């Protein structure tokens, strides 16, 4: 049993080494430079060994995408737990989302197809990719006093937030934005305006 456990542990370590090597290549050279051969060379394995763990480069990209969403989820949960009121939670979570995007640009580009090819049909099958939706819609639902998290009203508000924040992030990742100070002002004004539209709507009803 001990021998079997050791073999499984070594396999998992090799798998993680492959992913870590792939990500190092990306950070140094960009997503377009990634190849199975480069990964093999980086960890001094033969290419066939890499294929024992991953069928192709897309499989590696999918696992790195999964890792990115797990990191984002961690940051969103931490931001949410810092506050009690839904409006403050939303603000903190979108700021955390923004900060994640710029602290982890390689992951963000892959997760959302910013200047990379997004394998969206595969990404949409990842449970980790759904967690962002779950966290935000839960808070929006609480703010709007709506229990049905699949409500069109919640969906509309979520995509209003996301479209603005993701759009601003994408513009700046492509180096077409303004200064950091102005970007932060635009971000906070957008978050505040959308949140206020929700609270005003609730008050009116």
pLDDT band at 47 (very low <50, low <70, confident <90, very high): confident
Is 204 in contact with 145 (CB distance < 8 Å)? Answer: no
The DSSP symbol for 31 reads G
Residue 92 has pLDDT above 90, yes or no: yes
pLDDT at site 1: 47
Range from 3-17, 19-33, 99-113, 141-155 carrying the lowest mean pLDDT? 3-17
What is 66-204's CATH number?
Answer: 1.10.357.10
Q: Cα 34 to the chain's mean position, in Å?
A: 20
Phi, psi of 113 (to 5 degrees): 70, 30
More confident residue, 106 or 5: 106
Residue 86 has pLDDT above 80, yes or no: yes
Is 169 in contact with 101 (CB distance < 8 Å)? Answer: yes
pLDDT at site 139: 97
Which CATH class for the 1-54 domain?
mainly alpha
pLDDT at site 117: 64
| Most confidently predicted of 25-29, 34-38, 70-74 | 70-74
pLDDT at site 171: 87
Same fold, 1-54 and 66-204: no
Which residue in this structure is represented by tokens 């513009």? 171
% of the chain exceeding 90 in pLDDT: 64
- Domain locations along the chain: 1-54, 66-204
Phi, psi of 36 (to 5 degrees): -60, -40
Look over the chain and give the mean of its residue pLDDT values, rounded to a whole number. Answer: 89
Residue 124 has pLDDT above 90, yes or no: no
pLDDT band at 10 (very low <50, low <70, confident <90, very high): confident
């Amino acid at each position: 049993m001990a021998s079997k456990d050791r073999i499984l542990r070594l396999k998992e370590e090799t798998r993680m080494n492959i992913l870590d090597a792939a990500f190092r290549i990306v950070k140094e050279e960009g997503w377009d430079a990634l190849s199975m051969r480069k990964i093999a060379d980086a960890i001094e394995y033969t290419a066939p060994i890499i294929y024992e763990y991953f069928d192709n480069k897309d499989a590696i990209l999918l696992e790195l995408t999964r890792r990115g969403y797990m990191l984002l989820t961690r940051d969103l949960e931490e931001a949410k737990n810092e506050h009690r009121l839904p409006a403050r939670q939303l603000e903190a979570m979108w700021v955390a989302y923004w900060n994640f995007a710029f602290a982890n640009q390689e992951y963000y580009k892959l997760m959302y197809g910013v200047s990379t090819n997004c394998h969206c049909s595969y990404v949409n099958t990842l449970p980790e990719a759904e967690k962002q939706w779950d966290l935000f819609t839960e808070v929006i639902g609480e703010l709007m006093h709506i229990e049905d998290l699949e409500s069109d009203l919640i969906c509309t508000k979520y995509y209003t937030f996301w479209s603005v924040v993701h759009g601003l992030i994408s513009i700046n990742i492509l180096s077409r934005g303004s200064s950091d100070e102005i970007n932060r002002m635009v971000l906070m004004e957008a978050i505040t305006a959308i949140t206020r539209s929700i609270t005003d709507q609730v008050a009116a009803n």
